[in-house]
Structures are given as structure tokens and as C-alpha cells.
Amino acid sequence: MVMSIECALLVSLIQLAGVYTRYIPFSAQLRSTENECSTITHKIKVFLLKLIGVSILSVLCYFLIFQYYGITATTYKAMLLLGWIPYQLVFVYTLPGQGMNHLFVFSLSAVWTFIIHSISCIILAIWFIDMHEAFVLCIEAILYLIIYILTLPLARHYFADSLTVFGHINRPAVRLYFAFLPLVMTIGYMIMISDGILWHTWEERLARLLLPIAFFLTYHYIIGTANHVHEQALLLHNNTIMKQELAYMEEAKLLSTEYREKLKRQLNELTDTYEDLQQLLQNNDIKAAQVFIAQQEQKLSATAIVPYTDCAIVNAAISIYLHRCQLAGIGIIQKINLPPQMNTDENDLAVLLANLLENSLLATASDGHRGQITMILQHNGTQCVLEIANTFHGDLQLGDDGLPKTNHHGHGIGMLSLKNFLKKYDGYADFCCENGWVRLNMYWEDRAIC
């Protein structure tokens, strides 16, 4: 009875070790909340309570099975091969809607688990082959836990960024392939060892060790290479954004210089015509004087850089493209209400607005009619709402991601900036085309990224 309790506890600890391995890739999601970054959240507390409950029930079930059927290779393997199911259900319930991510992480952790079990079985075959079966199985569980602890830094290294790298794969078929491949290999080994045999041949022991290690290292190398390619593409994307921002600022500087000179000329003209205004007033021609004053006020108020917000780069991006629309003869209706300070990164917002306005400008200009663009950008304290609409009489083609397909390169980043922005700020975007208008409605959380 004592050995049954000990073995039940050891098997439960093995399952919890597997839970921690699968927790490593999801740790950032479990720690984070909607509005802040913290190390302990309510989600983690609930997750731990569920694990404790499942562990208590598991120990009880394992004990009853070992007590009734005995501690044999069959019962021990059955507990290892099936005992992970309730723990995995807790994971899925805690982080719903991530079936592919759960499959990918579980597949990798299963391969890792087989490697550790293979090492412990080789040690058993060297020093404990003549021992009693129940004692050997308990020793195997202890060896597994010791090896797991010793290799834990390596596991953290391999699993910490695995889910992030997996998220870089956008094609569903490729994601499914990468998620299923380790699981297929694991299932093959599960079938091989699903028997009542305690001691296998040395060829089988070495095969169960070397093949998973070779597979895991190769698989990790492929994932790492994919991550390196993604980082290079991201670096190129960031360089393009920086060049684009410099272009904004340079153009904004030129516009500011141009309009300062224009304002200076207007002031000189106002001084030169002051006598005419005085003459109109002396002649009591009030109506003509009012018209003259209105004309001068309109000239003085004309400027290209409008202070929509305290952020210079956002002001420049909006003003430049609205000014380009005016030069192209496109009607502009805009309503912008931004606070002096925003949590949304100014560079992200400037690039987003510039790309969306450029797409609207190109689409409207290519329509062959005198078009119109409307832009509404509102901030309600926690959320930003953006609506950009433009006249368009062609066919709007949407891709699999729901975003328009464009035939021009623009600044070389197209809809990529919108995709990245939505992902970064938990945003939502909807495109529609009706009654000769293309309309984008977009929402995102105005929050700082931790």
C-alpha cells in the first residue's frame, strides 16, 4: 500500500512536470491582462487551483489502480500514456480558442518527455535490471524527475519562444504540418511501447533515445531558421518605416517653410493694403471692408501642418496626405479628435495613417472622377475609432485575411503595417464596398505595450 501511494505521487509529479513544460510557451499569455502587465494574475490563480484539484483526483485514481491491479509495467505505462489528458483539458479550458497552439506545444513536449524517459530507462537497464518490477518502476519515476530538473534550463531555452516563432507562420496548411509532425512521431513511439514488457532490447532503447533527439534538434533548427527569416523581414520592415518617417518629417519641414514664407508675404501684402482698408472705412463702405477682412483672415489661417495632437510625426503624416489630396483635386472631409497624449506608439500610428491615406488617395485618383475622401479619428479614453472612406467605382478584392489586395507597392509595406498594428493593439478592421464608396472601420485599444 505504501509503495502504491509513493508510485501514485511520483506519476502525478511526472504529469505536473509535463504541465510546466507546456506552460513555458504560454506563460506570457497567462501572466498578462488586458490593461496591465503583471507576474501573477487571476487567470494564473484559477489555473493553479484547477491543477491542484486535478492532481488530487489523479493521485487518488492512480493509487486505486495500483492497489487493485498492482504496480506493473502495464499499469505504469497506462498512467503515463493517458494521465496527461485531464491536465491538457485544463490548459485548453484556461486558454480557449488556441487549438493549433495547444497541439503544437503538446507535440513538442511529448517528444521531450520521450527523450527523458528513454534516458531514465537506459540508466535502469545498466544498474537496476535485476530488481523487482514495482521497485524498478518507482526508480524510473524518480530518475525521470531528476533528469527533468537537470535538463529544465535547456527545456526553457527550447520552449520559451517556440509559440512566438510558431505564430510567425501564417499559412494554415503549413501551421497544421508543423503542429502535427512531432505528434505523429510521438504516436508511433506510443504504439511501440504500449505493451506489458518492462525490459526491451538495447537496440530499442537506443532508437527511442537517439531518433527523438535527432528529430527534436532538427525540428528546432527548422523553427529557428524560420524565426531568423522573420526577424530579417521585420528588420527590413522597420528600416522601411524609419525611412518613411524621415520622409514625412522632411516633407513636413518643407511644407512648414513654404507656408511660413507664404504667411510672410501675406503679412507684407496686408501692410501694403492697409491704406486701402482705411480708405474703405473712411468712405463708410462697410460691406466691402468686411469682405476684404475675411479674405485676409482666410489667407492667414491657411497652413499645411495642423496641430491634431502633440505628436509631430502624426501631425506630419496626416497633414501631408490631406495636402496631397487637395493638390490632386480630391475633396476632403475630416474630423479628428485626439488627446494631447496617447498610449498608442506615435510611430505605429503615423505609419498606419500614412499607409491608409495613401491607399485611399491612389484608389480615388485612379477612379477617373473627381473623388472624395472622408476621415474620422476619435478617441474615447480607452479606445480609438478610425473611419476612412473614399469614392471608388471599381471592384474591391479582399484576401483571405479580409484585407484589400492592392496592385501598387506604395511605400513597400502595403497592408503589412495594418496587420501588424491590429495584432499589436488587439484591433479590429472591417472593409466594405457599397454605393461607390470603399469604407474602413477600425477599432483598437489605446494602451501601452509592455
Q: Give yes or no: residues 233 and 314 share one domain.
A: no
Rounded-to-integer distance, Cα 372 and Cα 390, Å: 6
End-to-end Cα separation, the chain, in angstroms: 51
The pLDDT, as a whole number, for residue 259 is 52
Decide if 213 is inside a domain.
yes
**222 and 115 housed in the same domain:** yes
Cα–Cα dist 147/279, whole Å = 99
Q: Are residues 76 and 214 in the same domain?
A: yes
Q: Is residue 284 part of a domain?
A: no
Query: Which of 25, 24, 186 is closest to 113 using CA atoms?
Result: 186
**Amino acid (1-letter code) at residue 430:** D
- Could you identify the residue written with the cell 475622401? 373
**What domain count does the chain have?**
2
DSSP code at position 155: H
Domain membership of residue 117 (yes or no) is yes
| Residues 75/69, Cβ–Cβ less than 8 Å | yes
My answer on whether 91 and 226 are in the same domain is yes
Query: In the prediction, which pLDDT does 150 show?
Result: 94
**Is there a contact between 346 and 311 (Cβ–Cβ < 8 Å)?**
yes
Give the domain CATH number at 403: 3.30.565.10
Q: What residues of the chain score a pLDDT lower than 50?
A: 33-39, 301-304, 408-412
Any domain includes 57: yes
Answer yes or no: do 317 and 442 share one domain: yes
Same domain, 206 and 348: no
Q: Last residue of some domain: 222, 238, 254?
A: 238
Domain that holds residue 430: 309-450
Inside any domain, residue 252: no
**In the chain, helix, strand, coil percent, each to 5?**
65, 10, 25
Residue 254 lies in a domain: no
Q: Are residues 334 and 419 in the same domain?
A: yes
Q: Which of 180, 203, 238 is the last residue of a domain?
A: 238
CB within 8 Å of 82: residues ≥ 6 apart: none
Residue pointed to by grid coordinates 524527475: 145
Residues 69 and 149 in one domain: yes
* pLDDT tens track for 374-422: 988 888 878 889 999 888 877 766 665 566 665 544 434 556 678 778 8
pLDDT tens for each residue of 62-88:
889 888 888 888 888 888 888 888 998
Based on the domain organization, do 102 and 196 belong to the same domain? yes
Residues 190 and 314 reside in one and the same domain: no
Collapsed DSSP state (helix, strand, coil) of residue 372: strand
Residues 6+ apart with CB under 8 A from 275: none
**Residue 261, domain member (yes or no):** no
Q: Specify whether 314 is located in the same domain as 202.
A: no
Output the CA angle 197-202-207, nearest 5 degrees. 95
- C-alpha cell recorded at residue 307: 496641430
277 lies in some domain: no
- What pLDDT does residue 16 have? 92
- The C-alpha atoms of residue 71 and residue 68 are separated, in whole angstroms, by 9
* Residue 30 shares a structural domain with residue 110: yes
Q: How buried is 377 (Cβ within 10 angstroms: 0-12 exposed, 13-18 middle, 19+ buried)? A: buried
